[in-house]
Amino acid sequence: MGYTLLWIENLTFWLLLIALAVALAIRVKRPWRRRTLLVATAVLAPGACLLATLAIWALETTWSVPTGLFTPVLALSVCCTVGLLVILRNGLRRDDQQAPRASQWRLGTLALATTATLVLHLMTFWNLDLSVRQQMETLRAEAGTLAMSVAPARIPDRDNAAVLYVQAFEGGLLDPLPKEYNEWFRLMSDEPDKFNPLDPALTAYLVHLRPLLVLVREATARSGCNFNRDWGRPSISMLIPETQDMRAAARALQLEAHALAAQGDVRGACDNILAMHRLAEHVSEEPFLISQLVSFAIDSMAVRTLELLLQRHPVTVADLARFEDFRSSPVRPGLQRAFRAEEAMMLSTFCAAVDWRELEPLTKSGIRPRGDESNPMYWPLNASAVYRVFFWATDVQSYREHLHTIQMLPTLPYKQAHEVWSKTEESTRNSPIGIMTRLLLPAFSQMHVAGAHADAKTRLAQLAVAMHRHRLQHGAFPSDLDELPRDGNVLIPRDPFDGQPLRLTKTDDSVIMYSVGQDLKDDHGAKMDDQTRTGDLTFVLKIPAGSTKPLP
């Protein structure tokens, strides 16, 4: 009803404004000025409506933004044009005294009616905006409730790892990094044979970090992690900064693990790898998508470090016993919680990004310059009300429809989830989608792939520990996974990509355990190409030369 009234008032305003302009033009004495004013009147109102119609048409066709405004704006343009012709016809028609009828129209009455209509029009717009802002408050409350439903459980400080992590971060764990820092990680990733874990610069850096890493390892031994965020008011700022800080802590543990192994302290290296795995679990307790991605990355770092350790250093059965807790955590529940938390934060963002009550303090404080285009999450203040009244509700509905489809992905097998995601991406590209929805949805891209990758790597690490223990106890790696004893500690994990048991193949000097990877093709242990994303996810164990006698 409010939008219908707004449409009628808008049309009435334009018709009264046209009538006032015609009455003024007729009273102008000079013919050329009179004609100029009449032409301007004939162009102004229909032209403005036509431009609005073309803008809405461009939004809906070129940018695929659903507005629902094209038909009413087109109808307004047509009615305005017809009204213009009727007013000009009647206003320019001459009466019995051969004077244009418009010369008898009362300017004061027309001006008063035009002003009154404009005021009523603005009041109706304000009431519609007020109604939308009330909906925003309801949505904020819903977002807070949704966030509270997935918030981590409260933990006493004596059991809360976050307390120790914060102490380590504040104690200098993230101080300016050595200039060689990025090169160390590049070598570990791309050219591990060239990486020198006894580099003097690395040794000095680790000496500096040693007391802080003691805190980190103590933190990883605690049962839970909760940074005590205000879950009742979810916002994007909740993501900063602990998640990335914990990734930096994991990288420090990785550097130290390589250094300890090179110095002969294999057990210490094993402890660091296990600490990285537990740190990843702590990160995943935060129900954010970015937290899940960082957790996956840390677990992958731990798996890669374990792979290099087993390939290069003598590991005993006692060392391997420390990895009994190195198990794959369920990825799906974490992603489901993260999607719900993401919905809560983004619904809150939908409200904050177009609410002048929140943007104005930012503008005054200098945090965000007025109309700053560098941050797409904020709108110029003068555009906020227009977006709220005409686009906000449709945009929120568009976002929720797409998000609810994506939220099903963690519940589906990988192949089916991949098909659903491909269809969703196609729909996002080719179907009408809200302005902010288009900005926010790409954050979900390939989450199910990243989760399956991390899950597969951790399962391969579990299997590798069992394989290595078998070699130490029996003198050789089993030729088939079925040779591993089923003693309660050994369970052949299934490949999260195709649901089949993980595979094993051998070369002259290696045993390769592998997952088929995201292309779902069995490439018989060929390592995945990071560019094409084809090939298998692998974990390689080296077959030692010489004796096959059982090792201690």
- Mean pLDDT lowest among 71-85, 305-319, 438-452, 492-506: 438-452
Picking from 408, 223, 386, the residue whose alpha carbon sits closest to that of residue 332 is 408
Residue labelled with tokens 């941050």: 375
* Higher pLDDT pick, 134 / 415: 134
Give the pLDDT confidence of 342-352 residue by residue, as tens digits. 888 888 888 88
* Mean pLDDT, all residues of the chain: 83
Q: Is the pLDDT of residue 363 over 50?
A: no
pLDDT at 219: 94
pLDDT at 103: 81
Q: Are 346 and 379 in contact (CB under 8 A)?
A: no
Distance CA 186, CA 437 (A): 36
Average pLDDT score over residue span 248-261 = 94
Amino acid in the structure at residue 28: V
Give the pLDDT confidence of 154-185 residue by residue, as tens digits. 889 889 999 999 888 887 766 778 889 989 98
Q: Is the pLDDT of residue 437 over 50?
A: yes
Coil vs helix vs strand at 415: helix
Q: Is the pLDDT of residue 47 over 90?
A: no
Q: Are 351 and 301 in contact (CB under 8 A)?
A: no
Retrieve residue 310's tokens: 């087993």
Average pLDDT score over residue span 524-529 = 87
CA-based R_g, the chain, Å: 33
Distance CA 534, CA 532 (A): 5
Burial of residue 332, with CB atoms counted within 10 A of its CB: 0-12 exposed, 13-18 middle, 19 or more buried: middle
Residue 506 main-chain phi, psi, to 5 deg = -130, 150
Retrieve residue 300's tokens: 């992958």
pLDDT at 456: 92
- Mean pLDDT lowest among 46-50, 269-273, 301-305, 514-518: 46-50
**281-295 per-residue burial string, b: 16 or more CB within 10 A, e: under 16:** bbbbbbbbbbbbbbb
* Higher pLDDT pick, 451 / 219: 219
Distance CA 73, CA 64 (A): 17
Give whichever of 302-311, 415-424, 491-500, 516-525 has the largest mean pLDDT. 302-311
DSSP category for residue 404: H
Amino acid in the structure at residue 10: N
Q: Evaluate the omega torsion of the peptide bond into residue 550 and state whether it is cis, within 30 degrees of 0.
A: no
Picking from 254, 241, 240, the residue whose alpha carbon sits closest to that of residue 209 is 254
Give the pLDDT confidence of 218-237 residue by residue, as tens digits. 999 998 898 888 888 887 76
pLDDT at 29: 76
DSSP category for residue 542: E
Retrieve residue 373's tokens: 């285009």
Where does the pLDDT of residue 339 fall: very low under 50, low under 70, confident under 90, or very high at 90 and above? confident
Q: Is the pLDDT of residue 280 over 90?
A: yes
